[in-house]
Structure 1
Amino acid sequence: MSNNRNGNSRTQEIIDVIISAIKKGAMAPGEKLPSQQEMSRLFGVSRTVIRDALKTLEGRQILQTTKGSGTYVNPFLSANLELDRAWAPGTTIQATTGDILNLSRLIWIEALRLIVRSCPLGDIKNLEQMTNTFYQQFTVRTPMHERYIHETTFGLTVVKMSGNKFYQQIMHELFKVNSDIDHKIVADYNCYREILEIDRMMVEALSDRDAARACFLGRERDLLIDKIIAKEPCLLSKPCRINLSLSR
């Protein structure tokens, strides 16, 4: 009984240390934690205690683990959220569509990195074929609903290929909120054709396992989207709510 209490006490101590480090900026969102073996040595505890602490923080969405890569500070922790309840079940974020767009961009960039790191090449080639086919068939006469379906499918497919189910669930919610923005994007023929060209190059970069280039092109894509939205800035100021009661 005493050993169990001591183990629980040490687990909570490690949880508190990690949360404190994040709050003070010693550990940044997206930063990789040391291995469990290294943390066990640093804290002078068993790996079981370390695993329990990390599992608790993952459950609160403060940390996230990618199979074959390691454990990271959740890159989407918001300064507007208290870490003690960040991404906890039942959390609802009240924001604007502009805030949600920025969040989706963070997820997008992280998804590109994860694809380069661990996605099978065959899946990337399938995405490449889908992207090239739509680009080649895209004309000014392409119906709006086909453009919207492609844009949504492309975005969700990229996030799905990251292998992170939590990101997938969040992106499904974000697409529901920002559908007006997506419709505006695909309606601008010239800009959207440029976006499709960027998508082709971005998928090629993924195929080459070039994360830096893929992320650079992802940001170039965002700049084109900003150019479209600038014509109707009110799209970014609509209030919305996102329910984070999602299972991982």
Structure 2
Amino acid sequence: MNVEKITTKKVSQTVAEEIEKLIEKGSFKAGEMLPSVRELCDLFGVGRSSVRDAITTLSGKGIVYVKQGEGTYICEFDPSKLFNYHLLLPSSKEIIELFQVRKILETGIAEKSAIHRSEQDLLKMEECIYNQSVNKWESDYQFHMAMAKSTGNEILIQFMQFISATTKKAMIDFHQYIQKNPDTVKQIDNQHLQIYEAIKERESAKAHRMMSEHLNFVEEEMLQSHILQQSSRK
């Protein structure tokens, strides 16, 4: 297999992009297991941490999933067949429908996380909240995924991956929008912290409530962002 060795700064991001290209070309097929971390290191000429970070990114986008003790598999499910969020800009109706699903799914995830989370799960959530070395939308996504993973429920995790994969563009646009309003950014950061604290203290009902309030707030902000972007395009 002919691939270019990677020498760019954001190595893990480039590795993830290269793996995506190989999946699109059919070199790696849906349902199959990816080569091992060591083999991918040799293939791209990069270190193990870069490959692991790339797999985490791909997992977050719903392209692959990890089976503990086995390896990393390529998802067969194509979320774009279920949703229309691959469009450049989703409609208000699509945003509302998305958040209807998220409120059902993620409030339950927060509640279960408070019951089942481990100390390692808490460390991962904490890292997502305070990590300033990655894009804001990515740390936001990783925080929500860390909660899903802490439930130990593979179906919930895959649902989160599918939904997030379909809304990546909207999420990036939304975070670009709120960066212009530091107060909104601060509110969202505080909401994440409140959810985390409820999970840490194993207060499942409070975690459910905090997540509901957070999603209501983000939905309103995203709808406002959509309205403004639509106006600017007229």
* TM-score, normalised by the number of residues in structure 1: 0.48
Match for residue 158 of structure 2 among 159, 164, 169? 169
Q: Distance in 1 between matches of 2:164 and 2:125?
A: 22
Aligned to 1:130: 127
Shift of the 147–175 alpha-carbon distance from structure 1 to 2, 3 Å rule, reads same
Aligned to 1:160: 149
Aligned to 2:173: 184
* Secondary structure of 1:163 counterpart: coil
Q: Distance in 1 between matches of 2:126 and 2:103?
A: 23
Larger Rg: 1
Gaps of 5+ in 2: 1-76, 85-93, 229-234
CA contact (8 A) 1:160 1:168 kept: yes
Q: Distance in 1 between matches of 2:204 and 2:160?
A: 21
Q: Distance in 2 between matches of 1:104 and 1:215?
A: 12
Deviation at 1:214, TM superposition (A): 1.2
% same residue: 11
Q: Distance in 2 between matches of 1:211 and 1:171?
A: 19
Matches within 5 A, 1:4-43: none
Query: How many equivalent pairs are there?
Result: 138
Q: Distance in 2 between matches of 1:107 and 1:183?
A: 21
The alignment status of 1:102 with 2:76, answered yes or no, reads no
Q: Distance in 1 between matches of 2:108 and 2:154?
A: 13
Deviation at 1:224, TM superposition (A): 2.1
CA contact (8 A) 1:101 1:178 kept: no
Match for residue 221 of structure 1 among 214, 217, 232? 214
Q: Distance in 1 between matches of 2:125 and 2:148?
A: 15
Q: Deviations over 1:56-109 (max 9, x none)?
A: xxxxxxxxxxxxxxxxxxxxxxxxxxxxxxxxx999646745323321232211
Match for residue 116 of structure 1 among 107, 114, 122? 114
Deviation at 1:174, TM superposition (A): 0.8
Shift of the 132–174 alpha-carbon distance from structure 1 to 2, 3 Å rule, reads closer
Match for residue 137 of structure 2 among 141, 148, 164? 148
Q: Distance in 1 between matches of 2:109 and 2:147?
A: 7
Q: Deviations over 1:148-192 (max 9, x none)?
A: 211121121111111110111111111121123312332203312
Q: Distance in 2 between matches of 1:232 and 1:90?
A: 27
Q: Which amino acid aligns with 2:108?
A: E
* Secondary structure of 2:224 counterpart: coil
Q: Which amino acid aligns with 2:191?
A: I
CA contact (8 A) 2:99 2:219 kept: no
Q: Distance in 2 between matches of 1:160 and 1:199?
A: 16
Gaps of 5+ in 1: 1-88, 236-248
Deviation at 1:234, TM superposition (A): 6.4
Q: Which amino acid aligns with 2:114?
A: V
Runs of 4+, deviation exceeding 4 Å: 89-95
Shift of the 163–171 alpha-carbon distance from structure 1 to 2, 3 Å rule, reads same
Shift of the 100–231 alpha-carbon distance from structure 1 to 2, 3 Å rule, reads closer
* TM-score, normalised by the number of residues in structure 2: 0.51
CA contact (8 A) 2:83 2:166 kept: no
Aligned to 1:211: 204
